[in-house]
Amino acid sequence: MIHDSVDSAKKGSTCPSQANNDMAARQKQEEAAIKASLSKIKHKIFVLSGKGGVGKSSVSANLAAALSKKGYKTGLMDVDVHGPSIAQMFGMTELLDISEKQLLLPKKINENLKVVSVQALMQDKDQAIIWRGPAKTGMIKQFVSSVDWGELDFLIIDAPPGTGDEPLTVVQTIPEALGVVVTTPQEVALADIRKSISFCKTVHLKTLGIVENMAGFRCPHCNEPIELFSSGGGEKTAKAQGLTFLGSLPFDTRVVESGDKGSPLMFKEEDTEFTKAFDKIVENIIKQL
């Protein structure tokens, strides 16, 4: 059923003259399924970024891991059609199971954490999804309606960077979601993040605040501080835009390694500068809810 619908989403169309009763009925059914599924989830957090490569997926994965460690029932959904990284970050290789109701069953990572990725719908994980906008919109809606999350305290949604079809579809499908904006400190990234904030305002997405990523770094040999991508830009932008600054995360090569190895750093028990900074961000998010 799911692959059938993905096929029909591929044929996606925006032409009103092609709409027929069948499609309208199907859309209604899909919307009802989305509403039913989302009604069992207390908080939906939508992790956004203006440009790619700022660590949006890494922040999403570690946020989900941290919340689950605190005892919250947490779901993590990757809707990045072109570059889904979440499956890799949790070492998900097998296909997902399907429930009796023909819904996708997310992968259980631990007692409190379930993860699902659009990757699960792709037969060859190295194949490019060369779909134009309308097809992607159809696929994301279909995907959101097809997952059996059960009861959750938090659903973390990792969407592609930018302000195009995919984030727009997520906001329209899950209008009660709260935004967390991730950036790195350099001006070229900040220019894009101002676009993301303009996006949030235009589509009326309530924003919890800004996370600055890859800000500080210490040489693992001599322990001297190195500014890889400059610093302080996240806090400055938050102030200028009247948004909460959720905190600054240092660059840590172990975040890259742990992402490649399939287990986010926030699962580890040891205290590092990164995990301490991340815990503060989680607190700053929770106290706003």
Q: Is 243 in the site for its own copies (CB under 8 A)?
A: no
- Residue 58, C-beta contacts closer than 8 angstroms, at least 6 positions apart: 85, 89, 213, 255, 259, 264
Q: Is 81 in the site for its own copies (CB under 8 A)?
A: yes
In the complex, least distance from residue 280 CB atom to its own copies, rounded to whole angstroms:
24
Q: Which of 11, 13, 28, 288 lies at the binding interface for its own copies (CB under 8 A)? A: 13
Q: Which of 51, 69, 107, 114 lies at the binding interface for its own copies (CB under 8 A)? A: 51
Which string of b and e fits 139-151 if b means at least 16 CB within 10 Å?
A: bbbbbbbbbbbee
**Total residues belonging to the chain:** 289
Stretch that binds its own copies, among 68-76, 95-103, 147-155, 214-222 (CB under 8 A): 214-222
Stretch that binds its own copies, among 23-31, 127-135, 150-158, 277-285 (CB under 8 A): 127-135
Q: Is 100 in the site for its own copies (CB under 8 A)?
A: no
Q: Is 211 in the site for its own copies (CB under 8 A)?
A: no
Q: Tell me whether residue 289 is exposed, middle or buried, using C-beta atoms within 10 angstroms of its C-beta: 0 to 12, 13 to 18, 19 or more.
A: exposed
Q: Is 111 in the site for its own copies (CB under 8 A)?
A: no
Q: Which of 35, 42, 82, 280 lies at the binding interface for its own copies (CB under 8 A)? A: 82
Instruction: Name the residue among 250, 247, 267 with its Cα closest to residue 259.
Output: 267
Q: Is 24 in the site for its own copies (CB under 8 A)?
A: no
d(CA 107, CA 96): 7
Do 157 and 45 touch, CB atoms closer than 8 A?
yes
- Quick one: 5 or 49, whose CB is closer to its own copies? 49
Q: Is 89 in the site for its own copies (CB under 8 A)?
A: yes
Q: In what order do the strands lie in the sheet with 245-248?
A: 107-110, 113-117, 74-78, 152-158, 41-49, 178-183, 206-212, 245-248
Stretch that binds its own copies, among 24-32, 98-106, 155-163, 267-275 (CB under 8 A): 155-163
d(CA 179, CA 156): 10
Stretch that binds its own copies, among 70-78, 92-100, 124-132, 147-155 (CB under 8 A): 124-132
Q: Is 17 in the site for its own copies (CB under 8 A)?
A: yes
Residues 165-204 as x/- pattern, contact with its own copies by CB under 8 A: x--x---------------x-xxx--xx-xxxxxx--xx-
Q: Is 212 in the site for its own copies (CB under 8 A)?
A: no
Given the rule CB under 8 A, which residues bind its own copies?
A: 13-18, 50-54, 57, 81-83, 85, 88-89, 125-134, 136-137, 160-165, 168, 184, 186-188, 191-192, 194-199, 202-203, 219-222, 224, 226-230, 251, 253, 256-257, 259-260
